[in-house]
């Protein structure tokens, strides 16, 4: 069963599937149109990030979770929104994903929900190509100084899945030295042991390896 809700600026197509909702958000953002597909958790849940200080970046109050989803969609850093978990009508926006970056846990607020943007390789077909109007309007890719479509900040390219994934935000997280999997702005780098560690420890580690 599908229902359609028309708001002033956002068109929502909502498909009910067991205890989850699939949501397509397609609002206007400046002159660009961004589209996102979300999975909405069952009521009474909240997002628990592995590094809240690094992943949380916005809080606002809106009248519904659908408006919270629109807020997330309009901010290209947002991959997860949390609605009503801390206070009624409070919309919290996070970077990251469900899995390595955080989990969904029960909330004390019965109506709270979590929305997670679903990414697929089709969103990244312009990666590595010269910037075009499609790339510059993309919510998931950025045009770098060389006019090449690349991953958004705090994400890295994984060629095996053909997508830009969220970078690791804590020391000890698994990584691959050949990919930018660790958040360098948090002073994390990937060690030869395939774990994110702080830069100081990395320098000390490599120094100890020198005979």
User: pLDDT tens for residues 6-51?
Assistant: 222 333 333 222 234 445 544 433 334 467 788 999 999 999 999 9
Question: CB–CB of 69/115 below 8 Å?
Answer: yes
Residue whose structure tokens are 């708001």? 7
User: pLDDT tens for residues 89-130?
Assistant: 999 999 999 988 999 999 999 999 999 999 999 999 999 999
- At 2 the pLDDT is 26
Question: CB–CB of 169/96 below 8 Å?
Answer: yes
Task: Report the relative pairing of strands 45-49 and 28-29 from DSSP bridges.
Answer: unpaired
Tell me the C-alpha distance between 41 and 17, whole Å.
Answer: 11
Beta bridge partner(s), residue 60: 91
Domains and CATH numbers, the chain: 2-118 (3.50.4.10), 167-211 (no CATH)
Which of 5, 51, 59, 52 lies closest to 27 in space, CA to CA? 5
CB atoms inside a 10 Å sphere around CB 97: 19
Q: Mean pLDDT across the chain, nearest whole number?
A: 81
Task: Give the distance between the most distant pair of CA atoms in the chain.
Answer: 67
């Amino acid at each position: 069963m599908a229902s359609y809700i028309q708001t002033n600026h956002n068109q929502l197509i909502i498909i009910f599937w067991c205890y989850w909702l699939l949501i397509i958000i397609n609002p206007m953002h400046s002159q660009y149109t961004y589209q996102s597909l979300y999975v909405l958790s069952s009521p009474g849940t909240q997002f628990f990030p592995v590094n809240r200080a690094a992943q949380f970046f916005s809080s606002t109050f809106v009248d519904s979770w659908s408006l919270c989803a629109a807020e997330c969609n309009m901010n290209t850093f947002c991959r997860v929104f949390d609605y009503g978990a801390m206070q009624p009508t409070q919309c919290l926006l996070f970077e990251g994903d469900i899995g390595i970056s955080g989990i969904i846990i029960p909330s004390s607020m019965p109506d709270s929900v979590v929305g997670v943007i679903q990414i697929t390789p089709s969103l990244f077909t312009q990666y590595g190509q010269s910037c075009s109007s499609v790339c510059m309007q993309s919510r998931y890719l950025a045009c770098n100084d060389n006019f090449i479509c690349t991953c958004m900040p705090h994400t890295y390219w994984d060629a095996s899945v053909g997508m830009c994934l969220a970078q690791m935000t804590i020391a000890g997280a698994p990584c691959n030295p050949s990919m930018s999997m660790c958040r360098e702005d948090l002073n994390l780098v990937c060690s030869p042991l395939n774990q994110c560690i702080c830069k100081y420890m990395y320098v000390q580690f490599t120094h100890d390896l020198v005979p």
